[in-house]
Structure 1
């Protein structure tokens, strides 16, 4: 005796929702990375370079081929200087 197809409808709905959610999250991550694939195993150097690219272009994964930095970049130093005791 077969299983009535009505018993499989909830499973199809759940499977469809998982697929829709996975595709939506993948698209959001793709858009957040400026249209590039997501990065894995990002170390400190990669974070530093991505922060530099963000300060140069405005996008975390953006890159530029301009030789000179934009106006105001010389004041956009990520290093924080400690206050000296006098």
Structure 2
């Protein structure tokens, strides 16, 4: 006696939802990274350069080939400064 196909419908629905959610998460990560693949094992240097790129271009993963920084970049300081206590 075979398995009725009605018993396999819930498994098909679960498989479809796992596929849709995986594709959706992949697309969201891709959009957040400016169309580039997500980065793994990001160290302090990479974070610093990505923050610099964000301040230059407005995107975390954006890069520019301009030799001169845009106007206003001199005021966009990446250093985190503590307040003086006297």
Gaps of 5+ in 1: none
The normalised TM-score by structure 1 is 0.94
Indicate the residue corresponding to 1:51 in structure 2: 51
Which structure 1 residue ranges, 4+ long, deviate > 2 Å from structure 2? 80-86
In the alignment of these two chains, the number of paired residues is 86
1:14 Cα deviation from its structure 2 partner = 0.3
Aligned residues: CA RMSD:
1.1
1:85 Cα deviation from its structure 2 partner = 4.6
Q: 1:27 to 1:85 in 2, by over 3 A?
A: closer
Gaps of 5+ in 2: none
